[in-house]
Structure 1
Amino acid sequence: MAHSLSDLSQQLLKMAKSAGADAADVLAADGRSVSIDVLGGKLEHAERSEGLEVGLRVMVGQRQACVSSSLIDPDTLQNMAERAVFMASEAPEDPHIGLADAAQLSQITDAAALDLYDASAEPEAQALEEDAKRAEAAALAVNGVSQVQSASAGYGTRRIHLAASNGFAGGYQRSSRSTSCVAITGEGTAMERDYFGEARIYQADLPDAADIGRIAGERTVKRAGARKPKTGAYPVIFDERVASSLISHLLSAANGAMIARGSSWLMDAMGEMVLPKGLDLIEDPHRVRISGSKPFDAEALATAKRDIIKDGVLQSWTLDLANARKLGMQSTSSAARGTSSPPSPSISNISLTQGDMTLDEMLKDMGTGLLVTSMIGSTINPNTGDYSRGASGFWVENGERAYPVNECTLAGNLRDMLRSIRPANDGRAHLSRVVPSLAVEGLILAGE
């Protein structure tokens, strides 16, 4: 990663302007990553990757095009600029595209205040392998675990730099460190599995690998003997580790691109109750040492904390510049992009109001129903909010986990489901999405 991303970006901007672009922006990114997998106490797979990629977006009038390359020699860059301008000149007009005005640009051009990069030495591959082995061994030590499907450890770092012909130039670096484990109990068709994993920006913040393996093993043995639950209408609690999926469906429906296309079940819900009274859903891109944090968005607008839902009432769509212009609104500084695509709206860190009850207290309050700990597949009608997903977890009787369940389907409508949710108090503060366990009414279970 010896290249200056700033110099590279400015060089490509100049080439684009010389080739005939009226406006342009460049996203340059490089990084490296190491991942280690072990199996049976031995190294199973090791991978290291390093790469640099640069993306150019040009505008000719109200037409735009994007190109990208992992080669950065002068000839390649010149060809990129010329090709992008040619492509843009042939593209259909879009009256809503355009860079941010100078007055809109973020005055913050780095992420020093957000502490997104661990400057300590990159861990050796042997250290990652040792972590993976310790996680595997701890899982196997749990009585009832028959095998470990995978135990992994990884490290990564990534730099990005954004520059545009409107005068903005800025960038920052991220790092990540992770450990995970998937364990299995039982044999043959009676096998069940579960997992646990953690990721942090700082190595020092990552839980011990043995604890990660132990928790994966303990979760797994609780799945032994899983069977289908009863069919019928029952209350459901989404465990904290899957509860954010419900909120993700809400966030997708509030995405400005969906609204501008007219394909969202929240189309006419601005200013209406979409969650129970008393619940707030907040986006905060400025949380320190959190993976989703960012000082500016992909269009160089300053990010800021905002209410998506306040006291249960929908307050805001998630908007980039183009979709905001389509809707006659202002961007929420929510643009994200890759090197080969134009910006689109995306969410960073979110948090949902937490409740007063623990998960166990919520189970007792529920009495009989389903605790969901894992989900597969997804059938969501974006226009109506009709919801259907495969699930597994635990059947609850008299407020206690009675037996593990699998192979069931949950069905309902997101409008009704979300207006009935009750949060527990177990949201984990280190996650980018802090969503506690959620009790939900209005679901049909299809089991045996």
Structure 2
Amino acid sequence: MENKQSIEQSMEHVKQSVSKVLEMAKSLGAQSAEVSISKMQGLSVSTRMGEVETVEFNNDGALGISLYKDGRKGSASTADLSEKALQQSVNAAVNIANYTSVDPFAGLADKELLEFEPEDLDLYHPQQISADQAIDIAREAELTALQRDARIVNSDGANFASYEGFKVYGNSHGQLVAYPSTRHSLTCMMIAASGEDMQRDYNYTVSREFAQLTPAKSLGEQAADAALERLNPRKIATQKCPVLFRADVANSIFGHLISAISGGNLYRNSSFLVDSIGERIFSDHLTIEERPFIKRGLASSAFDAEGVKPIQREIIKNGCLQSYLLTSYSARKLGLQTTGNAGGIHNWQVSANGGDLTAMLEAMGTGLLVTELMGQGVNVVTGDYSRGAAGFWVENGQIAYPVSEITIAANLKDMFKSLVLSGNDYDLRGSIKTGSLLIEQMQVSGQ
């Protein structure tokens, strides 16, 4: 693992390589070009039943170049960062540009939208961890789980990973920017048995800072308890009822929103939210903010994949759609301006009008608590939603028993509008900070 000084030296060295590649592209007739180089190093270990299964050391690098020549675009990439390989990549991109068709919407992001002096978002927190220490962490989580209860009979393993690296981006507008980052994670998956029934569940923790991870012992206990709670599930009758998505699966609901308001789907007319800016698509209590500049945020970034400075803004305000998610290309296709979302979203914050999970269960009264989703039965063109699910049946605001082998179905338009409560039991482990979500009614197919 590097320290701050040495990683800054590495970034400066790679910046020189990016400048060289841009010069090569220019010398071969490209009117404009953009280059990104990312480097990552670290280790990942996994254990199963206390035995070491894998130890992986990574030291990877990758370059991507896109260049534009007479309105034609050529792209190439390489994992070899030697000077010869970089030259070959530029040559390949130029050759491709000679054969592609002219596209008036292609090109670099507009210069006035670029971030030339990115702020430090404190994303870099390296941790000196040996393979033996990493094994001890994974093993502690798993062995704690195995000792939690006699019904924990097996393990699907524990995994600990710690990575650090950086990204450098440059283009022929004169932008040359970089930032370092780290990511540490621990996952534990256990199997519980009772009679003929076996159930699997897991828990995980992830952070920019090693010290902010859930301790291995606690994580192991949580993974064991999650598997135990699922034992002896029942089937429920087919019916329409309220559905509460627990916080750790609730982010998937907004994942479908992301697809529906992404520029690529919009300009192809492949979304149920085409021409929906300003329209009320959620209940009026719901607001979603995008916050790109949160210090140590898992989805923080001072610039997007095109070098554009993102914007802190409201995506949804009082239920109304305020903004699409656009790259420079999709924005031009739609006659709009990029939103700085090339490469994804930046720290969505979902408002809360409900309390914690206990309060949300009480508000629901009787219905289905979903803790796992399966399958990909979502059509972003029509909004039709149908997925396998498992979780718990709730009666009088209390969890009654686990349920499995069910399907939940509705249309996303109806689900969004009937999202009556959003909890404050926030899951902080991803790019969408949301609590549990209560949908007023869905079709639940069981027996």
* Structure-2-length-normalised TM-score: 0.94
Mapped partners of 1:163, 1:189: distance in 2:
59
Mapped partners of 2:416, 2:232: distance in 1:
32
Task: State the one-letter code of the partner of 1:154.
Answer: A
Please give the secondary structure, in 2, of the residue aligned with 1:270.
coil
Please give the secondary structure, in 1, of the residue aligned with 2:375.
strand
Q: Is the 8 A contact 2:66 2:76 kept in 1?
A: yes
Mapped partners of 1:221, 1:43: distance in 2:
25
- Equivalent pairs, count: 436
> Following TM superposition, by how much is the alpha carbon of 1:363 offset from its aligned partner in structure 2, in angstroms?
1.4
Mapped partners of 1:231, 1:189: distance in 2:
25
Q: Is the 8 A contact 1:100 1:166 kept in 2?
A: no
Q: Is the 8 A contact 1:234 1:369 kept in 2?
A: yes
Displaced runs of 4+ in structure 1, greater than 3 A?
A: 428-431
2:82 is aligned to: 73
CA deviation string 1:168-204 (max 9, x = no partner): 0001111011111001111686211111000110111
The one of 133, 138, 143 aligned to 1:137: 143
Task: State the one-letter code of the partner of 2:349.
Answer: S
1:439 is aligned to: 438
In structure 1, runs of 5+ residues without a counterpart are 337-345
Please give the secondary structure, in 1, of the residue aligned with 2:220.
helix
Mapped partners of 1:154, 1:75: distance in 2:
32
2:393 is aligned to: 395
1:339 is aligned to: none
1:13 aligns with 2:12: no
CA deviation string 1:251-306 (max 9, x = no partner): 11011111111110001321111111121111111111111100011111112211
Task: State the one-letter code of the partner of 2:228.
Answer: V
The one of 46, 58, 68 aligned to 1:49: 58
1:168 is aligned to: 175
2:4 is aligned to: none
Mapped partners of 1:424, 1:100: distance in 2:
38
> Following TM superposition, by how much is the alpha carbon of 1:441 offset from its aligned partner in structure 2, in angstroms?
2.2
CA deviation string 1:313-338 (max 9, x = no partner): 001100111111111111111112xx
> Following TM superposition, by how much is the alpha carbon of 1:73 offset from its aligned partner in structure 2, in angstroms?
2.8
Task: State the one-letter code of the partner of 1:36.
Answer: V
Q: Is the 8 A contact 1:5 1:160 kept in 2?
A: no
Task: State the one-letter code of the partner of 1:37.
Answer: S
- Residue pairs, 1:78-157, within 5 angstroms: 78-109=87-118, 111-112=119-120, 114-119=121-126, 121-143=127-149, 144-157=151-164
> Following TM superposition, by how much is the alpha carbon of 1:124 offset from its aligned partner in structure 2, in angstroms?
1.0
Please give the secondary structure, in 2, of the residue aligned with 1:443.
strand
The one of 358, 362, 367 aligned to 2:356: 358
Q: Is the 8 A contact 2:194 2:231 kept in 1?
A: no
Mapped partners of 1:194, 1:431: distance in 2:
19
Please give the secondary structure, in 1, of the residue aligned with 2:236.
coil
> Following TM superposition, by how much is the alpha carbon of 1:446 offset from its aligned partner in structure 2, in angstroms?
0.9
The one of 381, 384, 395 aligned to 2:382: 384
Task: State the one-letter code of the partner of 2:385.
Answer: Y
Mapped partners of 2:114, 2:143: distance in 1:
51
RMSD in angstroms over aligned alpha carbons? Answer: 1.5
Mapped partners of 1:229, 1:127: distance in 2:
46
Q: Is the 8 A contact 1:371 1:393 kept in 2?
A: yes
Task: State the percentage of identical aligned residues.
Answer: 35
Q: Is the 8 A contact 1:39 1:148 kept in 2?
A: yes
CA 1:189–1:390: 2 relative to 1, 3 Å: farther
Mapped partners of 1:245, 1:334: distance in 2:
18
Please give the secondary structure, in 2, of the residue aligned with 1:17.
helix
CA deviation string 1:49-92 (max 9, x = no partner): 11111111111121101101122333322222122111112112
The one of 310, 323, 340 aligned to 1:316: 323
Q: Is the 8 A contact 2:116 2:177 kept in 1?
A: no
Mapped partners of 1:389, 1:188: distance in 2:
28
Q: Is the 8 A contact 2:194 2:232 kept in 1?
A: no
Q: Is the 8 A contact 1:108 1:302 kept in 2?
A: no
Mapped partners of 1:141, 1:325: distance in 2:
58
Q: Is the 8 A contact 2:248 2:427 kept in 1?
A: no
> Following TM superposition, by how much is the alpha carbon of 1:145 offset from its aligned partner in structure 2, in angstroms?
1.4
In structure 2, runs of 5+ residues without a counterpart are 1-6
> Following TM superposition, by how much is the alpha carbon of 1:40 offset from its aligned partner in structure 2, in angstroms?
1.9
Moved more, 121-130 or 306-315: 121-130
2:423 is aligned to: 424
Task: State the one-letter code of the partner of 1:138.
Answer: T
> Following TM superposition, by how much is the alpha carbon of 1:357 offset from its aligned partner in structure 2, in angstroms?
2.2
Please give the secondary structure, in 2, of the residue aligned with 1:180.
strand
Task: State the one-letter code of the partner of 1:7.
Answer: Q
Mapped partners of 1:370, 1:330: distance in 2:
42
- Residue pairs, 1:295-374, within 5 angstroms: 295-336=302-343, 346-374=344-372
CA 1:368–1:165: 2 relative to 1, 3 Å: same
Mapped partners of 1:117, 1:416: distance in 2:
42
The one of 231, 238, 241 aligned to 2:245: 238
Task: State the one-letter code of the partner of 2:438.
Answer: A
Mapped partners of 2:181, 2:105: distance in 1:
32
2:208 is aligned to: 201
Please give the secondary structure, in 2, of the residue aligned with 1:118.
coil
> Following TM superposition, by how much is the alpha carbon of 1:430 offset from its aligned partner in structure 2, in angstroms?
5.9
Q: Is the 8 A contact 2:35 2:170 kept in 1?
A: yes
* Structure-1-length-normalised TM-score: 0.94
CA 1:383–1:102: 2 relative to 1, 3 Å: closer
Task: State the one-letter code of the partner of 2:15.
Answer: S
